[in-house]
Structure 1
Amino acid sequence: MKFSLLRFSTVAGHFRLVVVGGGTAGCAVTSKFARLLPKKQIAVIEPKKDHYYQPGLTLAAAGLMNFDQLHRDEGSVLPHGVNWFQNSVQRLLPESNELRLDNGQAISYDFLVLALGIELRYDYIEGLSSGTESVLISPSISSIYFPEGAKKTLEELNKFPSGGVALFTYPAHPIKCAGAPLKICFLAEEIFRRRGIRSNSFVRFCTSNSRVFGVPKYAESLERTIKKRGIEPYLQHNLVKVDPERRHAVFELLNEKGKGTGERKTLEYSFLHIGPPCSPAKALIEHAQKNEQNANALQLTDPQGWVKVDPRTLQSPAFPNVFAIGDCANTPNAKTAAAVSSQLKALSKNLKNVMNNKAPIAEYDGYASCPLVVDRRHVILAEFSPNGPMETFPYDQSRPTMFAYLMKRYVMPPLYWMFLLKGYWEGPATLRKIFGIFARKSNAKFHCSLQKTFPDIQYTIRRSSPSSTICKKYR
């Protein structure tokens, strides 16, 4: 174990707070409460010794970031004075405020935060039964959803043959970072263009959905970009089988409701990028299966294994001392790191209240974000909730801009490492309010200065006349 015994302890026993998971959400919660609770009162359960900035894998797979910029040792991102157990959870026992680790240790708690993330399930696809290992050993197949797969993606894109067919898939199952399969599709197309092989090559985006993105405003912009770039969209196509030797990808065709029609289509490929089906963590799935056998048991999870919580407070309805955050919760928002930041604000306030015998009153608004990279200089900064766009900046964020790319490439990585993982960054809600003030007519001069600084952005003045007319006044 590569961590200092001065920083971490692994003595099993009872803890004021147990956080299961040391990913983005788990680190943020742990850091937040390490400043509030006495030392050694928090236990973190996380088996992995490496922590990756996963939003950067797409850029690294296109050669726009170095892979070493994405990695930290897990011990370096956890706060001092917590108990880090480098184990997996084997069994959850919320009725008795306990859990069991894979080494047999028992841990009890006063409060529990589940931040188990999400599991990549390549094994759901016939022909890839060994999961990530199948992706790595299969020729001309890759996926940016894990570090080794992202490295292989970069290699495959740089040796993609002239006249070849590149397929990029999006699953019918839940998936984290729903924009990633389309982002790497755009970046691959640009790489082929820069290599001079695009004119006689085929790029196809195969999605299980009826549109290329779930939010109509951004879908319209993305569809225009797809058409302009000559990318072929295959809608309502769900990848169910791969034959690596013959380089055949088999898709089940879906209807408008996302249900299988029984009809299948086989596409040949020279390169296949897989957006993986995902599932809850193994411990949650097994807990759900055991609950199915006991209809009278209180339900920690839904039948699929996602943690059941109030979507606003993130508190378990069945166990008031249990909360969930991030990808493992059954909240309706998109599963992104940006969602975690806004969830952190609500969860931390509510957990503190419950610890002090008060009611949870803070609410998560469903915010999520997905910076959609369309090329090496432009990004569509999609911000949204299940109810529609929730944009922060005073311009039409469905437009691809260099400003958004600079945010994605140079602002968001340090924001992640220095603020989100340390529990300081709680989403852009305050910034949204500030920029809302500048979006009025009385502050039109501010818009004009921004437009001069970032001329590729079309600014809109909310509740006022068109920006072009107002800016003319200040020229």
Structure 2
Amino acid sequence: MAVKHQILIVGGGTAGITVATSLRRRSKAPLDIAIVEPSEAHYYQPAFTLVGAGAYTLAQTRRNEASLMPSGVRWIHAAAAEFLPDENAVRLSNGDIVHYEFLIVCTGIQLDFDKIAGLPETLGKNGVCSNYSPDYAEYTWRCIQDLKAGARAVFTQPPLPFKCPGAPQKIVYLAADHLRRRGLLQSCDLEFFVHGPGIFGVPFFARELMKVVERYGIKTHFQHNLVAVDGPNHTATFEIVGGDRQGERLTVPFDMLHVSPPQSPPAAVRTSSLANAAGFVDVDQNSLQHVRYSNVFSLGDVCSAPNSKTAAAVRKQAPVVVRNLLRMMAGGAVEAGYDGYASCPLTTAYGKVIMAEFVFGGKVTPTLPLHPARERGINWWIKTTGLPLMYWHYMLKGREWFFRHNTDFDAGTP
């Protein structure tokens, strides 16, 4: 069966719902919009770290997709199986073909647990957990609670790009703080294995985070990539990806292993003519319009813009896509509007957060008139209460006004 819609949005997650509601709010004329989304549940993923640390329940992160779907928007319960931009069409997983005048691709990216040998078979048991999936975040908290004196807890960070680049280390700090409160920190070994050469991609914040690492006595191993897990024997194998020992493999025992998996665009995107060489939807980083197909836009984790993949980035990208799409429909030209803004609330302890905000090039751009390198209690409230309220009741409702981030901030020395 073939149908056609004026605007087809592929992906009903953060980006898809936000764009659809905003379009409905801002268009003076009725719009024919459809959203392609197979999932019945919608999760506030930035809170998965809090679930894994026992500071939030999984139920608090979940809403029914139907409750978020904008009025007047058609919900197509399927996934995209093939993009056919030369035909202005998308083939769905149920075999149907949907044609469009304008396409917005915001499928998100997938978790590639199967790229790590032995991981799928042991995930969710044997002390192997991951906050990146709602299926396993609660088990992370059980693993942390089960740590005893003399335990070894291992945490991993995969190759970029992946969503929420701060998430792999947030749970390290919360686990350390939990052990500190129980009087067990000094007797336990916490080790953080990072694929990259540093703790965080923005040096301004990396300097402060290394102080947190030192405070807890966390052992860091840079340029190490997780390649295999033996759950029953409680061992993890890493490949060294840089330096004099590049190519060597190291097997370490663990009592708890928190895995942040490698991630990639869905196959339907990766194999299409919409994708760049890395498999992401190839867009202009400022206008978010496709570089070859002018009636296609993309935002969120699946687009090629070189920003940090966070919900905060979507909050700034969505208005740009909406304005440019409405301009095109009115016969106007698109404009650059996205500066690469992303925000990463880095939970350094229960009750403390460093609010990392930055744009393209790692330029620090705080929103609040507070020094951004400091751990603050107010940032914990923003992370645990303010941002979720904003997400559910403001952002997903298509409301776009927010405080401006300070692009004139002088980072200097923390």
1:161: how far off?
Answer: 2.6
TM-fit CA distance, 1:303: 2.5
Q: Does 1:149 align with 2:139?
A: no
State the match for 1:370 in structure 2.
344
State how far apart, in whole Å, the 1-side matches of 2:294 and 2:128 are.
Answer: 45
Separation in structure 2 between the aligned mates of residue 270 and residue 62 of structure 1, nearest angstrom: 17
Q: Does 1:13 align with 2:24?
A: no
- Match of 1:302? 276
1:392 maps to a residue whose letter is T
1:216 aligns with 2:203: yes
1:444 — aligned with what?
none
Structure 1 residue matching 2:38: 3-state secondary structure: coil
Counterpart of 1:33? 23
Q: What is the TM-score when the length of structure 2 is the normalising length?
A: 0.94
Q: Which is higher, the Rg of structure 1 or of structure 2? A: 1
Summarize deviations over 1:100-150 as a string: whole Å, max 9, x none: 11111111110000001010001111112x4xx7422x4110000111211
Match of 1:400 in 2: 375
Does structure 2 conserve the Cα–Cα contact (< 8 Å) formed by 1:333 and 1:339? yes
Pick from 316, 327, 340: which aligns with 1:342?
A: 316
* Residue pair 1:208, 1:236 contacting (<8 A) in 2 also: yes
Name which structure has the greater RCO, CA cutoff 8 Å, separation 6+: 2
Q: Give yes or no for the alignment of 1:47 onto 2:38.
A: yes
Aligned to 1:423: 398
User: Which one-letter code corresponds to 1:247 in the other structure?
Assistant: H
After superposition, the Cα gap between the structure-2 partners of 1:269 and 1:37, relative to the gap in structure 1 and judged at 3 Å, is farther
SS at match of 1:412: helix
- Counterparts in 2 of 1:277-316, with a 5 A limit? 277-287=262-272, 299-316=273-290
Q: What does residue 192 of structure 2 align with?
A: 205
Mapped to 2, the partners of 1:134 and 1:71 lie a distance apart of 25
In structure 1, how many angstroms separate the alpha carbons of the residues matched to 2:330 and 2:118? 52
The superposition leaves residues 319-361 of structure 1 with CA deviations (integer Å, 9 ceiling, x where unpaired) of: 1000000000011100000000111121111111111121101
TM-score, with length taken from structure 1: 0.83
Match of 1:196, SS? coil
**What is the deviation of 1:39?**
5.9
The aligned length equals 409
Letter of the 2:123 partner, please give it.
Answer: V
Q: Do 1:343 and 1:426's aligned partners in 2 also have CA atoms closer than 8 Å?
A: no
- Aligned position for 1:125: 116
Unaligned runs of at least 5 residues, structure 2: none
Does residue 154 of structure 2 align to residue 179 of structure 1? Answer: no
Q: Distance in 1 between matches of 2:80 and 2:169?
A: 34
Q: Deviations over 1:176-235 (max 9, x none)?
A: 001011000000111122223222110111111111111001000000111011111111
Task: Please provide the CA RMSD for this pair.
Answer: 2.0
Q: Percent identity?
A: 37
Per the alignment, do residues 74 and 134 of structure 1 end up closer, same or farther by CA in structure 2, a change over 3 Å counting?
Answer: farther
Q: Kindly indicate whether residue 385 of structure 2 is the aligned counterpart of residue 410 of structure 1.
A: yes
For the 8 Å contact 2:19–2:319, the answer to whether it is kept is: no
The answer to whether the Cα contact below 8 Å between 2:34 and 2:73 also exists between their aligned partners in 1 is: yes
SS at structure 1 position matched to 2:7: strand
**Residue 96 of structure 1 aligns with which residue?**
87
Say whether residues 1:380 and 2:370 are aligned partners.
Answer: no
1:427 CA drift (Å): 5.1
Deviation for aligned residue 1:432: 4.1
| CA drift at 1:260 | 8.8
Q: 2:175 corresponds to which residue?
A: 188
1:341/1:426 contact within 8 Å kept: no
Partner of 1:357: 331
